[in-house]
A and B are shown apart, each in its own frame.
Chain A
Amino acid sequence: MQWETVIGLEIHAQLATKSKIFSGSSTAFGAEPNTQANVVDLGMPGALPVLNAEAVRLAVTFGLAINAVVNRRSIFARKNYFYPDLPKGYQISQMDLPIVARGEILIEQEDGTSQTVGITRAHLEEDAGKSLHEDFHGLTGIDLNRAGTPLLEIVSEPDMRSAKEAVAYAKTIHSLVRYLGMCDGNMQEGSFRVDANVSVRPKGQAEFGTRAEVKNVNSFRFLERAINFEVERQIDVLESGGKVVQETRLYDPDRDETRSMRSKEEAHDYRYFPDPDLLPVVLDEAYIETVHAGLPELPNDKKQRFVKQYALSPYDASFLTAERELADYFENALKVAGCEAKLAANWVMGDLSAALNKAGLEIKQSPVNADMLGGLLNRIADNTLSGKLAKEVFEAMWAGEGGADAIIEKKGLKQITDEGAIAAIVDAVLAQFPEQVAEFRSGKDKVFGFLVGQVMKAAKGKANPAQLNAVLKQRLES
């Protein structure tokens, strides 16, 4: 039988506020346990939540960026369940009237196909604390620093039909929340968490199959693997005559499989009701307009502009605009260099990105800043440097030896572009290798490469390659 996969994602993005959603405690990551948890976060009797204005602004920003309906009136509700890292016995969340209602986003896969994915809603809620299960002689340790950190839960429609589509969607949202400055997107630290609702159905069937929710996926690579495993598992269950059970499953990256979380004897019943501690949030048109005016250029708009303004391929434009900082870097380097955009794009996507990857650095931590790269591009564009020499200069800049011009001066890396000087080196080399010259003249074209290598070596790598080729060819054929 042909099966069709149906996937919807729930993404929890931690909002980049300084203080918590309902208290003045700090949200900084990595503090000593329980040093950033006050009476509100601990759920002490009598403590009352007061909503953080910045959390509201960031949620509205997201809503506007996905062309969603931003509810002018939204309501907080209590989601009741018992777990020690949730001190109040309920999570303050939104149920009936979320701050962001239906929206949509355009996603593009690596092969260039694009589609629109519906976003059902996005609502504000508070994060829970952390449970540490090891090393406490049979007890569990609770750290409530994270309790009360603002989250935006972004719920997609079940619009995705493959793990690749789901990853493309998750990456698009990831890129967007970082563009908007609303979330740092750090998946390892849990600032951006993705849960996948996965089901399968016979191709052509209208109703959805029973879904399982896959949690504990902390990278895009694992998201793809976890979904693929889960799809295979469900198909195996159905083809052997079984039934998929609606449940939560944890992905185990070491074993590359999903496992059922021991289900509780009771089905979840969160008994939502409006939180009497919080009044409805009411937003007026002037407020929405102000937030709208503060929106940055969005990834997709920037990408279209890069294609148009710089004549870059859609692939290059996607790569360069995936992160706002990278796009800014590219544009700044180009401003300094005034070279062809493609040359700047190749350097940013090639040597710079490779060096950053290798060093495990983000673009904003790059030892070679946009001005410096622009300086290097200038020397490539005006033929001072060959590609090979440029790489050498780049490495020296990376190692902190200064700007391109200073390095060229200090190391004497200036490319030889003087036709006469190149000809002199060529003649000397040809005199050194009469046999090879004879071989070439008798039709062995391959020897040409060898001679190019010898001339370049004699020129200490500094001869302009195009000129070298031309002169050598001319001498051999005369």
Chain B
Amino acid sequence: MSITPNEVMKIAHLARMSVDHDDVERYAQDLSGILNLVEHMNQVDVRGIEPMAHPLDMCQRLRADVVTEFNQRDTLQAHAPAVENGLFLVPKVIE
């Protein structure tokens, strides 16, 4: 299993990460190395073993349906680059 430089670019794009062109080849090798390790683990016979969804062998605790939070808009928007009428402003996202 190996990852091509093109696939590195695609993954970086999906994750919205900028990748230096010179590093692409190295990332491709590193990622391929990780996948090879996974491939190696894949050879272990795990028939009959329930896959773990979490490293902790515990189950989710539930919260009662009660409103416990109050309005903290001013605090939470203090470090937002742009706000107006209580809204966060971001670059336009539709054409």
- One of B13, B54, B67, B89 near A24 (C-beta < 8 A): B67
Docked-complex contact A138 and B92, CB < 8 angstroms: yes
B49 contacts chain A at the CB level, 8 A cutoff? no
- One of A53, A131, A141, A271 near B84 (C-beta < 8 A): A141
Docked-complex contact A24 and B16, CB < 8 angstroms: no
Query: Would A35 and B63 be within 8 Å (CB), given that A138-B92, A141-B85 are in contact?
Result: no
Query: Would A133 and B53 be within 8 Å (CB), given that A34-B88, A53-B64, A269-B14 are in contact?
Result: no
B94 contacts chain A at the CB level, 8 A cutoff? yes
> Could you tell me how many residues of chain B have their Cβ less than 8 Å away from some Cβ of chain A?
39
B45 contacts chain A at the CB level, 8 A cutoff? no
Docked-complex contact A36 and B66, CB < 8 angstroms: no
**Contact residues, B33-59 vs A (CB, 8 A):** 53-56, 58-59
Residues of B within 8 A of A133 (CB): 92-94
Alpha-carbon distance between A129 and B77 when the two chains are bound, in angstroms: 16
A-B contact count (CB 8 A): 132
Docked-complex contact A38 and B69, CB < 8 angstroms: yes
Query: Would A280 and B65 be within 8 Å (CB), given that A32-B86, A139-B82, A141-B88 are in contact?
Result: no
Alpha-carbon distance between A24 and B68 when the two chains are bound, in angstroms: 5
Docked-complex contact A280 and B59, CB < 8 angstroms: yes
B18 contacts chain A at the CB level, 8 A cutoff? no
Docked-complex contact B66 and A50, CB < 8 angstroms: no
Grouping DSSP codes into helix (H, G, I), strand (E, B) and loop, the A interface class, with mixed when no group exceeds half, is loop
A15-23, A202-210, A216-224, A342-350: which lies at the interface? A15-23
Docked-complex contact B87 and A33, CB < 8 angstroms: yes
- One of B10, B54, B62, B89 near A136 (C-beta < 8 A): B89
Alpha-carbon distance between A43 and B82 when the two chains are bound, in angstroms: 18
Query: Would A279 and B90 be within 8 Å (CB), given that A19-B68, A52-B62, A52-B65 are in contact?
Result: no
Residues of B within 8 A of A136 (CB): 84, 87, 89
Docked-complex contact B90 and A140, CB < 8 angstroms: yes
**Contact residues, B5-27 vs A (CB, 8 A):** 10, 13-16
Instruction: Give the size range of A's interface with the partner.
Output: 35 or more
Docked-complex contact A280 and B67, CB < 8 angstroms: no
A274 contacts chain B at the CB level, 8 A cutoff? yes
A276 contacts chain B at the CB level, 8 A cutoff? yes
A26 contacts chain B at the CB level, 8 A cutoff? yes
- One of A83, A141, A262 near B89 (C-beta < 8 A): A141
Grouping DSSP codes into helix (H, G, I), strand (E, B) and loop, the B interface class, with mixed when no group exceeds half, is loop
A42 contacts chain B at the CB level, 8 A cutoff? yes
Residues of A within 8 A of B65 (CB): 17-19, 52-55
Alpha-carbon distance between A97 and B59 when the two chains are bound, in angstroms: 14
Alpha-carbon distance between A26 and B90 when the two chains are bound, in angstroms: 24
* B66-79 to A contact mask, C-beta < 8 Å, 1/0: 11110111001100
For B72, the closest partner residue in chain A by CB is A38
Docked-complex contact A51 and B94, CB < 8 angstroms: no
Alpha-carbon distance between A83 and B87 when the two chains are bound, in angstroms: 15
Residues of B within 8 A of A17 (CB): 65
A281 contacts chain B at the CB level, 8 A cutoff? yes
**Contact residues, A280-302 vs B (CB, 8 A):** 280-282
- One of B15, B66, B89 near A18 (C-beta < 8 A): B66
For A132, the closest partner residue in chain B by CB is B87
A445 contacts chain B at the CB level, 8 A cutoff? no
Alpha-carbon distance between A281 and B77 when the two chains are bound, in angstroms: 34
Closest CB of chain A to B91's CB: distance in Å? 7
- One of A32, A75, A80, A142 near B90 (C-beta < 8 A): A142
| B55, B56, B76, B87 — most chain A CB neighbours (10 Å) | B87
Docked-complex contact B93 and A140, CB < 8 angstroms: yes
| B69, B76, B89, B90 — most chain A CB neighbours (10 Å) | B69
Docked-complex contact A84 and B56, CB < 8 angstroms: no
Docked-complex contact B69 and A142, CB < 8 angstroms: no
* A52-77 to B contact mask, C-beta < 8 Å, 1/0: 11111000000000000000010100
Q: Which 6 A-B pairs have the closest CB atoms?
A: A24-B68, A141-B87, A54-B65, A53-B62, A282-B59, A33-B86
Q: What are 21 residue pairs bridging A and B, where the CB atoms are less than 8 Å apart in the complex?
A: A24-B69, A35-B86, A37-B73, A37-B76, A38-B69, A38-B76, A50-B62, A51-B61, A53-B63, A53-B64, A133-B92, A133-B93, A140-B89, A142-B88, A142-B90, A262-B95, A266-B13, A278-B54, A278-B60, A279-B54, A280-B53
Task: Give 7 A-B pairs besides A19-B67, A39-B76, A55-B65 with Cβ atoms closer than 8 angstroms.
Answer: A18-B66, A19-B63, A34-B86, A34-B87, A140-B92, A269-B14, A279-B59
